[in-house]
Amino acid sequence: MAGKLSAGMTRDEAFALLTEHNKDAFHIEHGETVEQTMRYFAREFDPENEEFWGIVGLLHDLDWEEHDDEPAMHTLYATPLIEAAGGTPELVRAIQSHTSDFNPDLPKPELQMEKILFATEELTGLIGAAIVMRPSKSVMDFNVKSLKKKFKDKRFAAGVNRDVIRSGAEMLGWELDELFARTIEAMQSFAPDRDTFGKENTEA
């Protein structure tokens, strides 16, 4: 266990930083979805650091909207922004680790928190895209079987990197089905009977 981790900022300060650099409601929502997914897993694996896990999730794609044309630099543009806002080296490292597949110079996930961010971040996007296509538009009636179909169909949500999801499951020592089931359960825990993933609310 890593002991008590400090993000160097509050959740409110982290959210203000996110919305300063992200204007697209879809990106803000993705940050919040990953935040809540991380909090869910923190309550199981590292309850004393739930706030830290949440802030890592909230800010993991801080620089993506402004620099999505430079994937190898993803999280490196975010680093000085996070540091200027008071973010700790632990926070910077955790965020950088989720994009180490793009840039081998970045730290690889080591803590359970970093492995879960790496494994679930792309997967929440795939689940979100699948849910929008469903009649219910709800995660509450979504299951592993449906997710496996979408995962295997490479044309569906083609931007979601399946290899990252696979290697994230391996890092955690979980079967892919277990990662799928746990991530769906995480998303069900904070989205009961409502459409968290619709894009109707994207008016500027």
- For the stretch 21-55, what's the b/e string if a residue is b when 16 or more beta carbons lie within 10 angstroms of its beta carbon? bbeeeebbbbbbbbbbbbbbbbeeebeebbbbbbb
Q: Mean pLDDT by 10-residue block, N- to C-terminus, for the chain (204 residues)? A: 86 98 94 96 97 98 94 94 97 96 92 97 95 90 96 94 96 97 96 51 33
CA–CA separation, 109 and 12 (whole Å) = 26
pLDDT reported for residue 201: 37
pTM listed for this prediction: 0.91
Of 20, 5, 144, nearest in space to 81 by CA: 20
pLDDT reported for residue 72: 87
pLDDT digits (tens, 9 = 90+) for 136-173: 888 999 999 999 999 999 999 999 999 999 999 999 99
- Asked if 198 contacts 139 with a C-beta cutoff of 8 angstroms, the reply is no
- Asked if 13 contacts 86 with a C-beta cutoff of 8 angstroms, the reply is yes
pLDDT reported for residue 182: 98
Q: Using alpha carbons, list the distances in angstroms from residue 111 to 16, 32, 173.
A: 26, 21, 13
pLDDT reported for residue 194: 52
